[in-house]
Amino acid sequence: MAKSENETPAPIRPVPRLPKGFRDISAAEIREQQAMLGKIRGVYERYGFEPLETPAIEYTDALGKFLPDQDRPNEGVFSFQDEDEQWLSLRYDLTAPLARFVAENFDKLPKPFRRYATGSVFRNEKPGPGRFRQFTQFDADTVGAESIAADAEMCMLAADTLEALGIPRGDYVIKVNNRKVLDGVLELAGIDPASPSDAARRLTVLRAMDKFDKFGVGGVALLLGKGRKDESGDFTPGANLAPDAIAKITGFLSASEGDREGAIARVMPTIDGNERATNGMDELRQMSDMVRASGYGPNQIAFDTSVVRGLEYYTGPVFEAELLFEVKNEDGQTVRFGSVGGGGRYDDLVARFTGQKVPATGFSIGVSRLQAALASLGKKSSDTLGPVVVLVMDKGEVAAYQKITQTLRAAGIRAEMYLGSAGMKAQMKYADKRGSPLVVIQGSDERAKGEVTLKDLIEGAKAAAAIKDNKEWKEARPAQLAVPETDLVAKVREILARHET
């Protein structure tokens, strides 16, 4: 049938859909995360760090790692231009904004400057299972301290944080390495760590070294050579190093295997003759002495040659918090949980702005990943009860129901009055969906007596499961009691206490 000329076209409606690589977070997960952040914050503050919040958007050139270009202005980060045609980007970590803040306020800050920060960061990278473009980090940084003691303290902070969250010793280790050592090993293998022409090969080698825990000597040797084909047949091109260069690198990696206490001594012969690597190992030896003197054993903080860390701004010690317990991956295979945080020394980051070297070191926790780890360990907090729901039995008495609700709230009890227009059955279903432990009912009969009826939904559900028919249920009236309105708060607290323990 032909459309009338006056017929209004159907409106074009947006499709409700999540952007790729992002996710919605439920109330339960948010509460879990807030509880976890509180424990982390407690450790950071105990170490003397102060909170700082910087904006989620920075000028792109201030972020420093990725710069926009004409072809793809948002490579690596999410970027846009403002009205002045300057490029702005969502922060990809919390450290680059800190460097900008320190450079901008350098003369006003105490030295060293110690701050912690938490918030969302954004990466314009290919999303995958468990890999999102927006995630939360929780950082602590010390800026203006050249002493290696600041790096040792970061490792102790990391260990204390994991234990405060309930991860026992033996289920984690803070692994420590040094970029000076890694650069020295690259030099021994014939790669200039500072040469732009060697940058691509250097990155390939470091990525291969980072796979040592996963692939072992044989797999890393392939990645350092021609390349490696995995079980699916996918081929990863290698660094095409000569056999003697491969041997130097794999010998360095293998030397730290075994007893963690003696790893530094075993590695020293593999870097013999390289000043840069020797200086880095001296720093690691000092860190080891400091953490041992403070009571941290090699089962908590230990040297590990395979720690590389991804960001290019690290200049000295680097560290990684690794969880050692096993979980099932998406393919049903048993694997170690792996890294949940890391950091290191970045002495050149503030100098990008000022030209003046400002030593700095920091540690960052991947909050979502650590939260998943705690859940797999059974460290998840008990489910939070929903609010007490006050049912509206008589629409002409809304003010009375609102008064009951406010009485509960004034006593510190989470409560809400039903604000919909449905009847009692639908209101009960609503309370159930809200996870409410109990509802408050007051009809005209109860009001005349100065009473309310409390219905314990949790106990009621248990009792209903054991009752065979509707007649028996009505006779039993499970988990339901009438109380004087003056006893409302005391009786509600009594029921809540029963379910919160």
State residue 69's pLDDT score: 42
- From residue 74, how far is each of 60, 132, 135, 359, 467 by CA, in Å? 10, 17, 18, 30, 62
Q: Are 149 and 290 in contact (CB under 8 A)?
A: yes
State residue 232's pLDDT score: 80
* Residue ranges of the chain assigned to CATH 3.30.930.10: 27-56+91-185+241-376
CATH architecture for segment(s) 388-500: 3-Layer(aba) Sandwich (3.40)
State residue 66's pLDDT score: 45
Q: Are 418 and 427 in contact (CB under 8 A)?
A: yes
- 170: tokens are 């033996």
* Alpha-carbon span 366 to 346, nearest angstrom: 19
* Alpha-carbon span 96 to 349, nearest angstrom: 8
- Do strands 317-328 and 172-178 pair parallel, antiparallel, or not at all (unpaired)? antiparallel
Q: 142: buried, middle or exposed (CB in 10 Å: 19+, 13-18, 0-12)? A: buried
- Do strands 301-303 and 172-178 pair parallel, antiparallel, or not at all (unpaired)? parallel
Q: What is the pTM of this model?
A: 0.83
Q: Are 51 and 115 in contact (CB under 8 A)?
A: yes
* Alpha-carbon span 43 to 160, nearest angstrom: 7
- If you classify domain 27-56+91-185+241-376 with CATH, what class do you get? alpha beta
**pLDDT tens digits for range 167-206:** 999 899 999 999 999 999 999 999 988 888 888 888 889 8
Residue from 56, 66, 501, 14 nearest 313 by CA: 66
* Alpha-carbon span 152 to 144, nearest angstrom: 15
Cα Rg for the chain, rounded, in angstroms? Answer: 30
State residue 211's pLDDT score: 87
State residue 72's pLDDT score: 44
* Alpha-carbon span 449 to 67, nearest angstrom: 73
* Residue ranges of the chain assigned to CATH 3.40.50.800: 388-500
Q: Are 151 and 50 in contact (CB under 8 A)?
A: no
* Alpha-carbon span 111 to 129, nearest angstrom: 42
Decide: helix, strand or coil at residue 390.
strand
Residues in the chain with pLDDT values less than 50 = 66-73, 473
